[in-house]
Amino acid sequence: MAIATESTKEAPVRRSLLRGALVGLLVAPAAAGCVLPPEPGPATPPEAQVVAADARALAYGRSAGEILENPQVRDKVQALFGVDWAPPTGVGVGKLSAAAPQYFELGGPVRMVRIGDANYIAVTGCAAQACTGRRGLLLIREGGEQLMARLDEGGFSHHYAYGPGGVGGPAGAGPVLASALRALERVSDGSPFPRPAP
C-alpha cells in the first residue's frame, strides 16, 4: 500500500514537470526565431572616394604627428580614444598593447575622402617597431567636429567615434572606416599604410 500512495503523490509532480518541459520545447524555438528590426537608416555607408587633396586636407597638419598634436583637434582626438590614448595598464583580451598615438608614429600621406555628402581628412599610420602589426586610420570630418578611428592589432580592429551626429558609436563607425580604407587601398597600390625602410 505504501508504494501505491507514493506513486499517486509523484504522478502530479511528474505531470507538471512533463508539462513544463513540453511548454519549454514549444516556446524556445519561437523565442529563438524572433527577429529584431534593423536600426533606422542605411545599412551600409555609401562607398568612399578619395578626392584630390587641397588646403582642406592640411587644415590640422601635414603629418599624423602634427594632426594628433594640433590644438584645434588634440582634445577631441584624445577624447576619441579615451583610455586607449594612454599606455595600457594591463594585459587582457581585446586590449591594445600600446597607446593609440603609437599607431601613428610613422604617418602615411594626408588625404581627403568623400563618404556620401561628407568630406573627411584621412590619415593612416603605423607603429615604428611593428608597422605591419599595429596600424591606424583616423578620419576627421570637415569642420573637425566628428572624428572616427580604427586601430588594427594582431588581427583585431578597434573602432572609435566622437562628436555630434555620429554614425552610431564605435559599432556604426566600423562600416564607414572600412569603406574609407577600401578607397585608400584602391589609390595606394593595395596598402595605404606607411612602408618603413628595410
Tell me what pLDDT residue 38 has: 43
Quickly state the pLDDT bin for 138 (edges 50, 70, 90).
Answer: very high
**Four-residue CA torsion sign, 127, 66, 95, 184:** negative
The Cα 35–Cα 131 span in angstroms is 42
pLDDT attached to residue 28 = 45
Quick one: pLDDT band at residue 11, thresholds 50, 70, 90? low
Burial of 133 (0-12, 13-18, 19+ CB in 10 A): middle
Looking at residue 191, what is its pLDDT? Answer: 85
Q: Are 98 and 126 in contact (CB under 8 A)?
A: no
pLDDT confidence of residue 34 = 37
Percent of the chain with pLDDT over 70: 72
Domain borders along the chain are 1-35, 49-186
Per-residue pLDDT, 54? 85
Once rounded to an integer, what is the mean pLDDT over residues 44-53? Answer: 84
* 142-156 burial: b if 16+ Cβ within 10 Å, else e: eebebbbbbbbbeee
- Model confidence at 198, pLDDT cuts 50, 70, 90, reads low
Cβ atoms of 114 and 51 closer than 8 Å: yes
How confident is the model at residue 120, as a pLDDT? 95
pLDDT tens track for 71-88: 999 999 999 999 999 998
**Torsion angles phi and psi, residue 6, rounded to 5:** -65, -40
Nine cell digits for residue 134: 599595429
Q: For residue range 94-118, what is the model confidence (pLDDT) as tens digits?
A: 689 899 999 999 998 899 999 988 9
Q: How confident is the model at residue 194 (pLDDT cuts 50, 70, 90)?
A: confident
Query: May I ask the CATH class of domain 49-186?
Result: alpha beta
pLDDT at res. 157: 92
Instruction: Name the percent of the chain lying above pLDDT 90.
Output: 51
pLDDT digits (tens, 9 = 90+) for 18-41: 666 555 544 444 444 333 344 444
